[in-house]
Amino acid sequence: MRRGFKSEAERLAERTRTQMGLRPHDQLDIRDLARHLNVDVIPADHLVDRGRLEELERLQPGAFSAATFHLPDGRTVAVCNPCNDPPRTNSDIAHELAHILLDHDVREIQQLAGHTFLTCNPEQEEEANWLAGCLLLPRPLLLREVYAGTNPDTLAARYQVSLPMARFRLNASGVLLQARRARATRGT
């Protein structure tokens, strides 16, 4: 990730949430953010038979989570996998919206053995993952929850994010260390 991106993402998340009328500790409904960005969110089973999605999941677990399409009529559509649970879907949609907020071009056309396929830029994927976490679980919210003694399972359930997302943000944002140091300082 490029130098300074994490702080930049925290500020972008804060600005975006403020534009939506949210306070730093408020829960973000990811579909409200999609509406704010004029992005339609469509479950993939509105486009293809759900049985085909379930078969793909059986054959290659996690192969499809979500994708964003910019349509010729100017609309932007995020398509999500309805086979995933709601917290995972929230994280997936947040990831797609993060690409939009960061103005990423997430598709690169590659050729391999005569076959054309689309790939993602790994650095952009990492940035979208980080911003998605900042949008769903901003630092002020995390600090408040950590000081209240909230564990990752409760955090994930309360804010409707996946447990891996809750753990990631608690660990990667530095709030656990910050809270531990604050407690140590008060204890001495």
Helices (H) and strands (E) in the chain, counts: 9, 5
Distance between CA 62 and CA 102 in Å, rounded? Answer: 24
Percent of the chain at pLDDT above 90? 60
Average pLDDT over residues 5-19: 95
Total domain count, the chain: 1
pLDDT of 42 higher than 90? yes
Is-above-0.95 flag for pTM? no
What are 137-172's pLDDT values in tens digits?
Answer: 999 999 999 999 999 999 999 999 989 999 999 999
Angle at 180 between CA 165 and CA 94, to 5 degrees: 15
Residues with Cβ within 8 Å of 71's Cβ and at least 6 positions away in sequence, in order, are 77
Reported as a pLDDT band with limits 50, 70 and 90, residue 27 is very high
Reported as a pLDDT band with limits 50, 70 and 90, residue 7 is very high
What is the sign, positive or negative, of the torsion defined by CA atoms of 149, 153, 154, 160?
A: positive
SS3 sequence, 22-43? CCCCCCCCHHHHHHHCCEEEEE
**Averaged pLDDT of the chain:** 88
What are 75-87's pLDDT values in tens digits?
Answer: 999 999 999 999 9
Domain that holds residue 167: 5-187
pLDDT of 115 higher than 60? no
